Amino acid sequence: MRITAIIATLLIAAAVIGAGCTEEGQPPQQVTGDSVLLDAVSGINDELESVRASTAEDARALGGTGLTSTAGKEAVRQTMLDHPYTESALVITKDGIVVTAVPENYADLMNSDLSSNPQTQRAVLEQAPIVSQVFSLEEGFSGIAQSYPVFGEEEEYLGFVSIAYRPDALIDRVIAPLTNGTPYDVWVTQTDGRVIYDTTPEEIGRNLFSDPGYQSPGLQEAFGRIVAEPSGSLEYSFWDRNWERNVTKEAKWDTAGIDGAEWRVVVTRNTDAGDLQAAIRERQPAADAADEMKAFVAGAALYAREHGRTDALAAFNDPDGEFVRGELYIFAYDMNGTVLALPFQQGFIGTDRSGVHDSSGVAYIYGMSRIAAEGGGSIYYVYPNPANGYAEELKLGYVLPVDETWFVGSGVYMPGVGTGFDTQVRETLVQRVKSARDYAQEHGREAACAAFNDLSGDFADGGAYIFAYETDGTTLALPYQPEFVGTNRLGLEDRFGVRVTMLEIAAAQAGGGYVYVTYYNPDTGLDGLKLCYVAPVDGEWFVGSGVYAGA
């Protein structure tokens, strides 16, 4: 199948890519680094203050009805729906005992004694709103805890409510609309040097002062100034946004944060971007056939098996070698997501990209690893196109395992299909799925699936319907295709070979996440490009929904 045919099919199925699949909040044409910085700082503070206002309302509800009250728990649950990037919420007594955990996935934390936890001790000591630094939460991930004290009707201190989230998720909803389509990048660091956000997601979680990749004297001097001074400007040399080559970066920074948080927000721009554009123009157009891509990957996997890992990776990483054909090139990863070959972004080699996601939140490297471990296959993701000024475009990728430890792959761009679903659309989708998850946890599987399958009910709203599967692939809810309920669809592939159910299971088992698929749209009667979000109800089954391009 020619890639042009793929594009045409998706465009027909999705119609015109509209509000659901457009560039996020295109910035004004006269955008400057100063305006990006000003809007970034104010936007981050607005987000933090919005969470504080919601937790303050929760605290008032809990103070009036009791820390274990149903009304208080419902208030906390609603706060999480209002801020869909949040992961969990705990209500903790002044003695450090967890008495409420939302959602029910974290019920095993009930009655836990967290009195020795430094964050708990700080909350009890200060009895004030707090935005913590990043730390390893009891819920099992590294994130921020934003808490608010709870006082009873007699103004006695009872404990606190704590909302947990990954800071990059909060920050990205501010930064993405500001920088998309501009030459500016943004990164945010705590004053201890931990990077909590970067438009190059591989940087998130690193420490400016201890990470081996940052140890040049010039970088250390620049980073030292940034964390020491609340605002300023300077220049430094580092990799460009795609880790392709070293460039000079002009940086301006200011400080965001409330309730104890002090985050340096840094806006950068390459000062020699013109040379980069010239290098881009020298590249040849990519091969345009999906079948050629698959044959290319199969040949690379065979080459790796015949020549061994060391020689094969040397060949794959040669930008002038036989495994680069214009935009069509071979990449390689080990099964845990560490980069082994990336010919035009060799600064990434040796880095762990397992948690990297595209602009719509799809964890595509993790998805590739799961697909490769299952024998190989296709996946959609959004990725910068070097032949188009690194504009983000939808890509159809294909991966094959070399052996049980590593895999190879390649991809073809699908320009014109759309580069992502905007923040509001994604968050509405997440709210819909999390509401269905909460309903399932409250009412149980049988009653919930009956509600999801009811075409006249609240959960079957055209293309916004809720679906449900067991983690072995057994269909539990599919309101517009009831003939599949009770069948196992683990092997389901869409028309381009993307293993729909398997990727959704993988995302659910990772705690929830996004997946692109091409699937039947009950509103149009046609297959369409769809961004799905899934969330586990428990370890045995999950719920999900999606939004179609152009919806």
In tens, the pLDDT along 285-311 reads: 343 457 889 999 999 999 999 999 999
The whole-angstrom separation of Cα 367 and Cα 364 is 5
Closest by Cα among 29, 25, 56, 55 to 172: 25
CA 267, chain centre distance (Å): 21
Mean pLDDT (the chain) is 88
Mean pLDDT for 124-141 is 93
The DSSP result for 309-366, as a single string, is: HHHHHHHHT-TTSTTEETTEE-EEEETTSBEEE-TT-GGGTT-B-TT---TT---HHH
Mean pLDDT for 26-46 is 85
Over the range 107-121, which residues count as b (16 or more CB within 10 Å of their CB) and which as e?
Answer: eebeebebeebebbe
- Amino acid type, 77: R
The more confidently predicted of residues 300 and 274 is: 300
Q: What percent of the chain has pLDDT over 90?
A: 71
Q: What pLDDT is stored for residue 19 in this prediction?
A: 32
Cα–Cα distances (Å) from 444 to 72, 74, 298, 470, in that order, read 21, 17, 45, 14
Query: Does the structure show a pLDDT above 80 at 348?
Result: yes
Which segments of 410-521 does DSSP mark as H helices, in order? 423-443, 445-452, 500-509
Q: What percent of the chain has pLDDT over 70?
A: 88
In tens, the pLDDT along 316-325 reads: 999 999 999 8
Q: What pLDDT is stored for residue 433 in this prediction?
A: 97
Query: Does the structure show a pLDDT above 90 at 17?
Result: no
The more confidently predicted of residues 361 and 2 is: 361
pLDDT band (50, 70, 90) for residue 419:
low
Mean pLDDT for 464-482 is 96
Q: What pLDDT is stored for residue 10 in this prediction?
A: 47
Q: What pLDDT is stored for residue 31 in this prediction?
A: 83
Query: Does the structure show a pLDDT above 80 at 259?
Result: yes
Least confident among 21-35, 264-278, 297-311, 362-376 = 21-35
The residue count of the chain comes to: 551
Structure tokens at 464: 């916004």
In tens, the pLDDT along 37-49 reads: 999 999 999 999 9
pLDDT band (50, 70, 90) for residue 224:
very high
Residue with tokens 């945010």: 188
The whole-angstrom separation of Cα 75 and Cα 65 is 11
Least confident among 23-32, 48-57, 82-91, 453-462 = 23-32
Structure tokens at 38: 């000003």
Query: Does the structure show a pLDDT above 90 at 470?
Result: yes
Measured between its terminal Cα atoms, the distance across the chain in Å is 27
The whole-angstrom separation of Cα 306 and Cα 427 is 47
Report helix, strand or coil for 419: coil
- At 140, give phi and psi (nearest 5°): 105, 10
pTM of the full structure: 0.83
Write down all domains in the chain, each with its CATH number in brackets. 33-41+169-273 (3.30.450.20), 43-166 (3.30.450.20), 283-413 (3.30.450.20), 423-548 (3.30.450.20)
Report helix, strand or coil for 113: strand
pLDDT band (50, 70, 90) for residue 416:
low
pLDDT band (50, 70, 90) for residue 138:
confident
459, 460, 462, 463 alpha-carbon torsion, rounded to 10°: 60
Report helix, strand or coil for 140: coil
The whole-angstrom separation of Cα 33 and Cα 249 is 12
Most confident of 10-14, 204-208, 546-550: 204-208
Closest by Cα among 347, 337, 245, 327 to 285: 327
The whole-angstrom separation of Cα 292 and Cα 297 is 9
Least confident among 105-119, 264-278, 410-424, 528-542 = 264-278
Query: Does the structure show a pLDDT above 70 at 546?
Result: yes
- At 88, give phi and psi (nearest 5°): -160, 165
Query: Does the structure show a pLDDT above 60 at 231?
Result: yes
pLDDT band (50, 70, 90) for residue 273:
low
Q: Find the helix packing angle between 423-443 and 445-452, rounded to 10°.
A: 140
The whole-angstrom separation of Cα 20 and Cα 550 is 5
450, 71, 106, 116 alpha-carbon torsion, rounded to 10°: 180
The more confidently predicted of residues 194 and 5 is: 194
Which segments of 186-230 does DSSP mark as H helices, in order? 217-228
The answer to whether 372 and 400 have CB atoms below 8 angstroms apart is: yes
The whole-angstrom separation of Cα 261 and Cα 259 is 6
Least confident among 5-9, 127-131, 371-375, 478-482 = 5-9
- Amino acid type, 392: E
300: exposed, middle or buried (Cβ count in 10 Å: 0-12, 13-18, 19+): buried
Q: What pLDDT is stored for residue 380 in this prediction?
A: 93
The whole-angstrom separation of Cα 498 and Cα 2 is 17
